[in-house]
Amino acid sequence: MMESFFTRTSVPLGKNELAKIRARAMRRGVWFRVLTRGERAQVDLTMRVVKRIRSFILAKVITSIVEKLLDAMESRVARLMREVGQPLAQKLSGIAQEWGNRLARQWMADPGFVQYLTVNYMNTPTSFPV
């Protein structure tokens, strides 16, 4: 579902990868909503002409378009895991380590713990600030 757990990996820029991302974006309804006509034309033309992007400038343009699509397709939980859950896990891990729990260092990298904190955050009423 996510490209990587907390950071985006670099997107391999090739014809097949662009076609997969385009198909996914169209299925989710973000292809026409998020991209301008020029950006859509750039991706379509690149897929028709190039098997693998070698030009640094073209790679930079296509990467920015792909990042735009990936941001639009990212689920709310995945975004909150990155923005809220991960910092919260780091904070709790630091506190537990100060109290002497050596295993708490692993909490920061545990996707289950981060997801648990994120879902708790999502279900916390707004009258109880975190």
Hey, where are the domains in the chain? 15-74, 77-123
65-105 pLDDT per residue, tens: 999 999 899 888 888 998 999 999 999 999 999 999 999 99
Dihedral class, residue 4 (left if φ above 0, else alpha if ψ from -120 to 50, else beta): beta
Would the pLDDT of 123 be above 60?
yes
Yes or no: say if 85 and 120 are a contact pair by the CB < 8 Å rule: no
Would the pLDDT of 126 be above 50?
yes
The stretch 21-29 carries a mean pLDDT of 94
Yes or no: say if 89 and 61 are a contact pair by the CB < 8 Å rule: no
Mean pLDDT of the chain: 86
Yes or no: say if 53 and 59 are a contact pair by the CB < 8 Å rule: yes
Percent of the chain with pLDDT over 90: 64
Higher pLDDT, 120 or 6: 120
Both tokens of 8, joined, read: 């985006």
Q: Flag whether the pTM goes above 0.85.
A: no
Helices 37-49 and 56-73, packing angle to 10 deg = 120
